[in-house]
């Protein structure tokens, strides 16, 4: 795998997809449909998926591509594959809350090793460089030139005063009960894969998810967090979260900075 070419392609395609998403977001109205699993999908999801899929298939034709919006791509698993959620946080998008992202990741032998998370409404972009180090790019986020990048790393967590981030749209009592087992200094809510990125930058120490997710929801954020020194583990036994599972469904999980003393669920 040419990681340099992949990093360039993921950044470029996320920007192109983000521009299309924001074009729809700015409209007075847009179509919203309901998929077979009862989740919403918009014309922005579909347009962004088309942009990213075409770009990845052209650049990396020999690598399996899995995308949320193309059910035909969900039928196979492989040791190495690209996985895409063109618009993560569709509910945030529909409600015009801004916490939605473009997610593109590479999985190798069950591990997301490279990824990009772009939040176009917030102007924040996080990705892994060719060497796997996670960075945040700031500035204009232009297609033609890479702006200033800053290496990001997880916090040195203080277990007597943890910073916790949880889902904005899917938080429930079980999540609150688990969080209450820690000494929490502050809580914040965020949508989409931005929660992984807040842990990656040290803005949060811990992100527990006790709810349904799919691998395309998490792979890019997971890659960014790993590239910043963090971990993502299963909720039940604290073993590493692996990818390429049958059906691409995730178990409950915990994303965290390594200094956090995890409690058993």
Annotated ligand binding at 58? The verdict is: no
Annotated ligand binding at 87? The verdict is: yes
Task: Supply the pLDDT for residue 51.
Answer: 98
**Better pLDDT: 86 or 168:** 86
CB atoms near residue 29 (< 10 Å): 6
Residue 187 belongs to what H/E stretch?
strand 184-190
The structure tokens listed for 193 are 């894969």
Q: Give yes or no for residue 114 having a pLDDT over 90.
A: yes
Distance CA 43, CA 30 (A): 7
Q: What is the pairing mode between strands 80-88 and 64-67?
A: parallel
Question: CATH classification of 162-256 is 3.40.50.2300, yes or no?
Answer: no
pLDDT band at residue 36, thresholds of 50, 70 and 90?
A: low
In 109-156 the beta strands, taken as DSSP E runs, fall at: 111-119, 124-128, 134-138, 148-151
Judge contact between 216 and 237, C-beta under 8 A: no
Collapsing DSSP to helix, strand or coil, 11 comes out as: helix
The structure tokens listed for 57 are 């298939």
- Helices then strands, each counted (H, E), the chain: 6, 14
CA 178 to chain centroid = 22
Distance CA 44, CA 123 (A): 17
Query: pLDDT (tens digit, 9 = 90+) per residue, 159-203?
Result: 999 999 998 766 788 999 999 999 999 999 888 899 999 999 999
Annotated ligand binding at 206? The verdict is: no
Annotated ligand binding at 85? The verdict is: yes
Least confident of 9-13, 88-92, 133-137, 256-260: 88-92
Residue boundaries of the structural domains of the chain: 3-151, 162-256
Query: pLDDT (tens digit, 9 = 90+) per residue, 128-157?
Result: 999 999 999 999 999 988 999 999 999 999
Task: Supply the pLDDT for residue 256.
Answer: 98
3-151 against 162-256: fold identical: no
Judge contact between 220 and 85, C-beta under 8 A: yes
Class of domain 3-151: alpha beta
Query: pLDDT (tens digit, 9 = 90+) per residue, 195-251?
Result: 999 999 999 999 999 999 999 999 999 999 999 999 999 999 999 999 999 899 999
Annotated ligand binding at 90? The verdict is: yes
Task: Supply the pLDDT for residue 33.
Answer: 72
pLDDT band at residue 75, thresholds of 50, 70 and 90?
A: confident
């Amino acid at each position: 795998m040419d990681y340099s070419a992949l990093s360039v392609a993921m950044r470029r395609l996320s920007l192109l997809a983000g521009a299309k998403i924001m074009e729809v977001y700015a409209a007075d109205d847009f179509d919203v449909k309901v998929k077979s699993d009862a989740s919403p999908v918009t014309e922005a999801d579909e347009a962004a998926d088309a942009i990213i899929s075409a770009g990845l298939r052209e650049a990396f034709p020999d690598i399996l591509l899995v995308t949320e919006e193309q059910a035909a791509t969900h039928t196979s698993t492989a040791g190495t594959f690209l996985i895409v959620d063109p618009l993560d946080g569709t509910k945030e998008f529909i409600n015009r809350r801004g916490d939605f992202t473009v997610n593109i990741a590479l999985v190798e032998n069950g591990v997301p090793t490279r990824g990009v998370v772009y939040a176009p409404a917030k102007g924040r972009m996080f990705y892994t460089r060719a060497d796997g180090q996670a960075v945040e790019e700031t500035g204009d986020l232009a297609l033609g030139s890479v702006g200033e990048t800053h290496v990001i790393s997880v916090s040195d967590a203080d277990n007597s005063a943890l910073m916790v981030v949880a889902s904005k749209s899917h938080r429930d009592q079980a999540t609150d009960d688990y969080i209450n087992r820690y000494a929490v200094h502050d809580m914040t809510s965020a949508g989409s894969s931005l929660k992984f990125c807040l842990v990656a930058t040290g803005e949060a120490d811990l992100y527990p998810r006790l709810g349904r997710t799919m691998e395309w929801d998490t792979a890019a954020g997971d890659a960014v967090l790993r590239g910043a020194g963090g971990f993502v583990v299963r909720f039940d036994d604290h073993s590493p979260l692996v990818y390429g599972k049958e059906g691409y469904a995730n178990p409950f999980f915990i994303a965290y900075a390594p200094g956090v003393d995890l409690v058993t669920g």
